[in-house]
Amino acid sequence: MTLLPIHWALIGIWGLLAAASVLVLWISSRSKKNVTELVQRTQSWWVMVAVFTLAFLVGKTVSVVVFALVSFLALKEYFSMIPTRRADRRVLFWAYLAIPVQYFWVYDSYYGMFAVFIPVYMFLFLPFASLLSQQTDGFLRAVGTLNWGLMLCVFSISHAAFLLILPPTPQSSAGGPGLLLFLVFLTQFNDVAQYTWGKLFGRRKIIPGVSPNKTWEGFLGGVATTFVLALLTAPLVTPFDLAHAAAAGLLIPVAGFVGDVTVSALKRDLGVKDTGSLIPGHGGILDRIDSLTFTAPLFFHFTRYFYY
Amino acid sequence: MLQKIFYLFVKIAVLFLLGLNVRRKELLPSDGPAIVVANHNSHLDTMVLMALMPLSKLKDIKPVAAADYFFSSPWKAWFSENVLGIIPVDRGGANRTNDPLEGCYRALNEGKVLILFPEGSRGEPEQMTGLKKGVSYLAEKFPEAPVVPVFTHGLGKALPKGSFLLVPFFCDIFIDEPMTWEGNRIQFMNLLQERFSVLSREKNFAPWE
């Protein structure tokens, strides 16, 4: 078996994870503070990277199904934490059904339908389905919140899956899988980098009204680290030239930050700390993919505009 | 066998469609005699509590349910008794001759775990009603059996009374320390009510009306 560039990229990710785990072990053996959460977080990373790698290596169909499941879990988490109306049970059911349909367009490479199904058809259909119960108290809030959840958890995330089915280009043999790996790796790495820089050097708060732990030092340190990593990895798995690699290396960390604080604002409004308890040490699945809800569609259209 | 296969499917469905957030799972007794006491919002309550138990123990875990509902037709009766493992309780009026809890006494004597819903009926989803005092008779008669309160939230949203459409929601299952018999039935019921109200305040649940 010959190793392709994306295989080397995956090996690199596992190597990085192993190195980070050794570091965490060393910290937890030395530190007198409670580091249970840090250890749990690291363990959860192993599971997440394993699931992702497995899906990725098995093939396109399995990967699309895994992204559909991620959307399902995220939407379920969202519907479970926001106020909903009993009268809208059926509407929620329709919203869930949009997931297999949306991911079928992905699987089918049907870009036209993929791009309009949720923002046009579901957008128009959900209010109609809701008014059938003839309960107008809270109608606006219900329709607004349900549509936003569907956009965030399903429409946005499905863009990551759509990257996967993009064909190879003259500049890069890695094609869609390479782009997906680039996006997901940099988005998640950026989360960790911003967190780590913030923990080590964080001083000046960046947006205390929404997220009191976020600092300028964390944000800028994360952006710089991700930027460098984007320049280094882009030639391996993407068709980007240097300028585009640099642009993507800024787009991903900045959009990731905005996605993160957007979900923070939602949680603060609802008065919850985590969106769920699915991933030990991290919280819910929405806590983990909050950045991806912003980076996936933006990175997808960036790539599509310049290369497809 | 049939029961194990049935609950294996239930376990998978519960984990995939609903998703459970269980706090203090280790307090759930799987060896009897013991009594698990839960609030009642949905048909899913029994399914979920059974799904939390190890498959190998299922034959010793007995949900207690209304005879008039679950044993109303021969088919339902067969399914309730052999697959769900239900112990029927006659909730009918004053003209009954024998003790309605007879089946429960027998099961506890045999060292089984009972699952009891002292609200009596599922009622309005996600709203607790007063507790029926049958459980205090059981606790008095079997003071050595721990009584474990379990508060669930979300199952009534996923499948409320009168609906057949299951809508996925993450559900919370909060398990409390076991209660022991102190010698007074009224005091016991008050304490149980208090335990439930403390459990229900453990988290801010999303409004649902």
B206 part of contact set with chain A, CB < 8 Å? yes
Of A164, A172, A157, the C-alpha closest to A58 is: A164
Contact call for residues B124 and B174 (beta carbons, < 8 A): no
Contact call for residues A263 and A35 (beta carbons, < 8 A): no
Q: Can you tell me the ipTM of this complex?
A: 0.88
Quote the minimal CA–CA distance from A88 to chain B in Å. Answer: 10
Residue B99 pLDDT exceeds 80: no
Contacts of A76 in chain B (CB under 8 A): 19, 168-170
Contacts of B165 in chain A (CB under 8 A): 89-90, 93
Distance, CA of B97 to CA of B103 (rounded, Å):
14
Averaged pLDDT, A286-308 = 95
> DSSP assignment of A40-104, as one string?
HHHHHHHHHHHHHHHHHHH-HHHHHHHHHHHHHHHHHHHHHHS-B-GGGHHHHHHHHHHHHHHHH
Using DSSP's 3-state secondary structure scheme, residue A279 falls into: strand
Interface contact A85-B21, CB threshold 8 A: no
Q: Which two tokens stand for residue A106?
A: 């992905």
Interface contact B206-A81, CB threshold 8 A: yes
pTM across the whole model: 0.92
Of B181, B206, B204, the C-alpha closest to B191 is: B181
Element (H, E) at A159: helix A157-164
Interface contact B19-A93, CB threshold 8 A: no
Q: Which two tokens stand for residue A77?
A: 């988490």
Interface contact B165-A89, CB threshold 8 A: yes
Element (H, E) at B64: strand B61-66
Distance, CA of B2 to CA of B6 (rounded, Å):
6
Return phi, psi of residue B148, to 5°. Answer: -110, 110
Distance, CA of A166 to CA of B116 (rounded, Å):
55
Contact call for residues B113 and B33 (beta carbons, < 8 A): yes
Element (H, E) at B65: strand B61-66
pLDDT category of residue B95 using cuts at 50, 70 and 90: low
Q: Which two tokens stand for residue B122?
A: 């599922």
Q: B12, B21, B164, B167: which to substitute to probe chain A, counting the most A Cβ within 10 Å? A: B167
- The region of weakest confidence among A125-134, A146-155, B42-51 is B42-51
Q: For residue A136, give the amino acid letter.
A: T
Q: Pairing state of beta strands B147-153 and B171-175?
A: antiparallel
Helices (H), B14-114: 44-51, 67-70, 74-79, 102-109
Structural domains in chain B? 2-200 (3.40.1130.10)
Could you identify the residue written with the tokens 């021969």?
A: B74
pLDDT digits (tens, 9 = 90+) for A23-35: 999 988 888 788 8
pLDDT digits (tens, 9 = 90+) for A97-120: 999 999 999 999 999 999 999 999
A277 part of contact set with chain B, CB < 8 Å? yes
pLDDT digits (tens, 9 = 90+) for A226-284: 999 999 999 999 999 999 999 999 999 999 999 999 999 999 999 988 888 888 888 89
Using DSSP's 3-state secondary structure scheme, residue B207 falls into: coil
pLDDT digits (tens, 9 = 90+) for A156-198: 999 999 999 998 888 887 888 999 999 999 999 999 999 999 9
pLDDT category of residue B141 using cuts at 50, 70 and 90: confident
List residues bridging with B35 in a β-sheet.
Answer: B114, B147
Distance, CA of B126 to CA of B160 (rounded, Å):
9
